[in-house]
Amino acid sequence: MTRHDWLVRQGRWRWPDVARLLVAALVPLVWVVYGAPAAAAMFLALGGAMAARFLDLPRRHDLACQVVLALSAWWAADGSYDRVRWLDLVAHAGSGAALALLVLRLLPQAPTRGASPAAGERRRRVATTTLSVLALGVVWELGELAGHLWLDPAIHVTYADSLSDLVADGAGALVAAPVATRVSPAASGRSAAASAGSPRHS
């Protein structure tokens, strides 16, 4: 996809943009009702929603990312994780899957050699995506620790909780990435299609 094509697509209204507006409206609402730390989590969800737009995700992936990230932030804000302990793992698995869709969109498609280059390329992309999501999960856990120490002691941080969260992150990515690699073209593949004049439909 050329820069011009990308700008044209970014200028068009899409129905998942309705969800983006709702997530944006939730940021100040959460701040007023639940406080700044909860609003910061919702703001991160908004960042993920905007990244889905910026990366031109297919509409179904776009909406799925927004719903998962917004729900994860909302459950953190209203204390659902304290009331339903296993919900935290569900949210991390879902967020890991959502992040996998975003990371996959950034990966270029390198040429491979061998009897089955397509399968080898998919394995490489799945591994890279899963490791990237795990790295982002580590950053998130460090952020939670910093929040617990310096912002709000009520933020739940334990060794077992952090490890189980990371396992859920990786599991979500490991489930979503193989599926998405079969239906979502790589960055270089999209560019080649655009250069050849073949429109891509989301």
Where in the chain are the domains?
3-109+118-191
- Assess whether pLDDT exceeds 70 at residue 113: no
- Assess whether pLDDT exceeds 50 at residue 196: no
Report, as an integer, the average pLDDT of 128-152: 92
Taking the model in full, what pTM does it have?
0.82
For the chain, what is the HEC assignment? CCHHHHHHHHCCCCCCHHHHHHHHHHHHHHHHHHCHHHHHHHHHHHHHHHHHHHCCCCHHHHHHHHHHHHHHHHHHHCCHHHHCCCHHHHHHHHHHHHHHHHHHHHCCCCCCCCCCHHHHHHHHHHHHHHHHHHHHHHHHHHHHHHHHHHCCCCCCCCHHHHHHHHHHHHHHHHHHHHHHHHHCCCHHHHHHHHHCCCCCCC
Between 1 and 131, the more confident residue is 131
pLDDT, residue 141, reads 93
- Assess whether pLDDT exceeds 90 at residue 119: no
Task: With cut-offs at 50, 70 and 90, classify the pLDDT of residue 194.
Answer: very low
pLDDT, residue 4, reads 67
pLDDT, residue 148, reads 84
- Report whether 65 contacts 49 (CB < 8 A): yes
Of all residues in the chain, what percent carry a pLDDT higher than 90? 61
Q: Rounded to an integer, what distance in angstroms lies between the CA atom of residue 24 and that of residue 45?
A: 9
Q: Rounded to an integer, what distance in angstroms lies between the CA atom of residue 70 and that of residue 77?
A: 10
Task: With cut-offs at 50, 70 and 90, classify the pLDDT of residue 115.
Answer: very low
The rounded mean pLDDT for the chain is 86
- Report whether 52 contacts 65 (CB < 8 A): yes
pLDDT, residue 89, reads 96
Q: Rounded to an integer, what distance in angstroms lies between the CA atom of residue 48 and that of residue 26?
A: 14
- Assess whether pLDDT exceeds 70 at residue 147: yes
